[in-house]
Amino acid sequence: MKSTWRWFGPDDPVSLEKIVQAGATGIVSSLHHIATGEAWPRTEILKRKQEIEAAGLEWSVVESVPLSNDLKKMTGDWQRHLENYKESVRNLADAGICVVCYNFMPVVDWTRTNLLYKLKNQSHALRFDLSDFAAYDVFILERTNADQDYPEAVLDRARERIAAMGPEQREALERNIIAGLPGGEGSYDRDSIRQEIEAFIALGVEGFRDNLFHFLREVIPVAESVGVRMCIHPDDPPFSLFGLPRIVSTAEDARKLLAEVPSTSNGLTLCAGSFGARGDNDLEGMVREFGPHIHFVHLRNVTREADGSFYEAEHLGGDNDMVGLIRALLDEERDRSSAGRPDAHIPMRPDHGHLMADEFGQEGTNPGYSYVGRLKGLAELHGVLHTLTVLRQS
């Protein structure tokens, strides 16, 4: 597997020099300064690529070329945004960057309720707590009929939580949920997020899926013609939030979108932490079924709770069998090598890391993207990869 590292560009507190020292050989990056819906100019792509290559690294994966809400809803300026998206894909191909990660999550991108969840070893992890989320949705945002989307036991805990929160705690919860996390696109206030939620709910699950399929039918042929492999990221978390339709949460969802436009260019980002937040997603089985379409891998683990809550565990801890998953991915790489595929080595990155050591309390650290936590995670993953590779050769 190809070891990569997410870098948010020149303003990222983690320098390219430190990334080289961590043992990564590829970079996962995006042009966050280009407004969502606008085309990525060749000059800006090449500028970023040259910055990365000057450090002795390669730009392996784009994460992400984001889709605007207009494009996801097929409203407003969506047709111009669609043509701009195609142009961005062509321009990336011209620059030799051929793996593009994207997502089709409505309104909110990846979502957590607690960015500093203290673990037993005193490091801090990201956490999604369903009761805290319900407390925000029902009692702070006051979304219409929100209480109908939660079990009574969750609502009871939500009432207790909201009653115990002071103004600062409520503001922090709202900030975590709707102000946008690293790599997400945009932020909201209460009025604007209510409006977007209502618009997406009106589409319904199948209406929203139809919009994704339209996007695929338009973009995948372009990607295929220029040698780009598109890889959709699953919903994070992989279930409905705010009553919204979520359509990339399960193996069945993946099966449908891959069948809609059969092409190697129509692929998946296998995010172990996102798909793995559902106990009914068999990660190793998904690799065996969808392997030829897996173009990018996020290796992250979670500890799940009965109500759907979870926290981000050690990379080799948690509820998902990381060793078994990596073994399955190595099997897929072996099959690709035997078939002569040029993309036999799948790019992976250590997805998120705990906040620990001297980084705790430092300003500017992106939630989930500490240096030391990801350095630790990548080293552990390298250990697994090396061991499995040696065992195969013996």
Of 271, 295, 311, 354, which is the active-site residue?
271
Q: Provide the pLDDT for residue 182.
A: 54
> Residue 186's pLDDT is what?
60
Q: Could you check whether the bond before residue 237 is cis, i.e. omega within 30 degrees of 0?
A: yes
Whether 191 is catalytic is no
Catalytic-role residue among 129, 315, 351, 354: 351
Contacts of 315 (CB under 8 A, 6+ apart): 299, 300, 301, 322, 350, 353, 376, 377, 380, 381
pLDDT of residue 189: 84
pTM of the model: 0.95
Pairing of strands 310-312, 124-128: antiparallel
Active site residue 295: no
Active-site annotation holds for 298: yes
pLDDT of residue 371: 97
Tell the residue number behind the tokens 């494009």, with chain if given.
71
Spans of the chain, pLDDT less than 70: 180-187
Q: Among the options 81, 124, 293, 352, which is catalytic?
A: 352
d(C-alpha 136, C-alpha 161), whole Å: 10
Is 369 annotated in the active site? yes
In this prediction, residue 364 carries a pLDDT of: 80
Catalytic entry in 81, 298, 315, 354: 298
Looking at domain 2-393, does it have CATH number 3.20.20.150? Answer: yes
Beta bridge partners of 181: none
The C-alpha atoms of residue 170 and residue 167 are separated, in whole angstroms, by: 5
Distance CA 251, CA 106 (A): 19
Strand blocks (E) in 51-136: 58-63, 99-103, 114-118, 124-128
Mark whether 233 is an active-site residue. yes
Widest CA span in the chain = 61
- Residue 365: per-residue pLDDT: 86
Tell me the C-alpha distance between 293 and 264, whole Å: 6
Residue extents of the structural domains in the chain:
2-393
Parallel/antiparallel/unpaired status of strands 2-6 and 26-29:
parallel
Beta strands in 198-252 (DSSP E): 229-233
Beta-strand runs (E) in the chain = 2-6, 26-29, 58-63, 99-103, 114-118, 124-128, 229-233, 266-271, 294-299, 302-304, 310-312, 347-350
Q: Which two structure tokens, joined as six digits, stand for 192? A: 């604007």
- Contacts within 8 Å (CB) and 24+ apart, 235-238: 235/103, 235/105, 235/274, 236/105, 236/109, 236/110, 236/111, 236/271, 236/273, 236/274, 236/277, 237/111, 237/128, 237/274, 237/277, 237/308, 237/310, 238/274, 238/275, 238/277, 238/278, 238/281
CA angle 90, 96, 100 (to 5 degrees): 60
Neighbouring CB atoms inside 10 A of 132's CB total: 23
Span 315-337, pLDDT tens digits: 999 999 999 999 999 999 999 99
What is the per-residue pLDDT for 112? 96
**Amino acid occupying residue 89:** V
How far the first Cα of the chain sits from its last, in Å, is: 19
Residue from 233, 295, 315, 354 carrying the catalytic annotation: 233
Q: Which of 102, 117, 369, 371 is catalytic?
A: 369
Q: What is the pLDDT of residue 79?
A: 98
Contacts of 165 (CB under 8 A, 6+ apart): 135, 173
Q: What is the pLDDT of residue 272?
A: 98
**Cβ atoms of 367 and 126 closer than 8 Å:** yes
Handedness of CA 373, 102, 324, 308 (dihedral sign): positive
Q: Which residues pair with 114 in a beta bridge?
A: 127
